[in-house]
Amino acid sequence: MTRIAENVQKVRAQILAACQAAGRDPREVQILAVSKTRTHEEVREAFGTGLRAFGENYVQEGIEKIQALQDLPLEWHFIGPLQSNKSRLVAEHFDWVHSLDRLKIAERLSAQRPEHLAPLNVCLQVNISHEASKSGCSEQEALDLARSIATLPRLRLRGLMVIPAPTQDAAAQQAILAQARQLFQQLKQHLPALDTLSMGMSDDLEAAVAEGSTLLRIGTALFGPRPSKP
């Protein structure tokens, strides 16, 4: 068994245990393999373990992989900050966008999504920890923004994405994830079609599962430490 296959097996076991502890069906929780900086060979290897959804943070790197791996039935998620001048490339090549936080970008994606492709799945990114360095709308803006995005053609609003501030305090970690879950549930009352809470990474996946995450963005735990930049 390869290193990546062993890692995938461990992560799946972690998710299963977390679901059992939370009384959840493991089929409700999907792994999004964060493949930024990873090679084509690593993505192929991860595909061989049954993973199908891959997340990229950088537009050009992501498109290069999408084109190189066209022979595989992969689902590509854009999870990095999205600038207006890159929206067309994302609309034309990706299946999902997790980092939508402005109506202007949503309108561009909707207008630029090719007619022959399925509607672009999008998540509204909320800056749940109120960090100045992070993208995302505020919780107060979320409902109005979500309602506006949900009316746009060529987009399908799926739910929320959050990146909580890292902390070693388990109680603080749980509290901020619970806050995200509550916001997601509030939005679902107004927009019942929402089905995705993109929350949790390698270091906090158990807590994220306990608070209702449906999509875990896992990189290091699957692929190992990211290569250092030259």
Taking the C-alpha atoms of residue 47 and residue 4, their distance in angstroms, rounded to an integer, is: 10
Taking the C-alpha atoms of residue 55 and residue 97, their distance in angstroms, rounded to an integer, is: 9
Find the DSSP H helices in 69-219: 87-93, 103-112, 139-150, 170-190, 205-210
Spell 106-142 as b/e; 16+ CB within 10 A means b: bebbbeebeeeeeebbbbbbbbbbeeeebbbbebebb
Higher pLDDT, 167 or 175: 175
99 within domain boundaries: yes
10 within domain boundaries: yes
Whether residue 149 contacts residue 122, with contact meaning beta carbons closer than 8 Å, is answered with: yes
228 within domain boundaries: no
14 within domain boundaries: yes
Number of folded domains in the chain?
A: 1
Which uninterrupted H or E stretch holds 215?
strand 215-218
Give the tokens for residue 4: 């990546």
Q: Look-up: residue for tokens 């735990």?
A: 221
94 within domain boundaries: yes
Question: What does the pLDDT average to over 202-219?
Answer: 96
120 within domain boundaries: yes
Taking the C-alpha atoms of residue 107 and residue 36, their distance in angstroms, rounded to an integer, is: 26
229 within domain boundaries: no
Domain that holds residue 141: 3-223
Taking the C-alpha atoms of residue 66 and residue 88, their distance in angstroms, rounded to an integer, is: 15
Confidence of residue 227 (pLDDT cuts 50, 70, 90): low
Return the pLDDT at 133.
81
pLDDT per residue as tens digits for the range 137-151: 999 999 999 999 999
Taking the C-alpha atoms of residue 113 and residue 155, their distance in angstroms, rounded to an integer, is: 8
pLDDT per residue as tens digits for the range 94-118: 999 999 999 999 999 999 999 999 9
DSSP 222: H
Question: What does the pLDDT average to over 195-211?
Answer: 95
Return the pLDDT at 95.
98
pLDDT per residue as tens digits for the range 3-58: 999 999 999 999 999 999 999 999 999 999 999 999 999 999 999 999 999 999 99
Question: What does the pLDDT average to over 162-185?
Answer: 92
Return the pLDDT at 228.
65
Taking the C-alpha atoms of residue 187 and residue 198, their distance in angstroms, rounded to an integer, is: 14
107-111, 133-137, 189-193: which has the minimum mean pLDDT? 133-137
CA-based nearest residue to 122, from 144, 140, 139, 103: 103
Question: What does the pLDDT average to over 148-176?
Answer: 94
Is the model's pLDDT at 130 over the cut of 90? no
Return the pLDDT at 230.
47
230 within domain boundaries: no
Residue 84: give its domain's CATH number. 3.20.20.10
Return the pLDDT at 104.
97
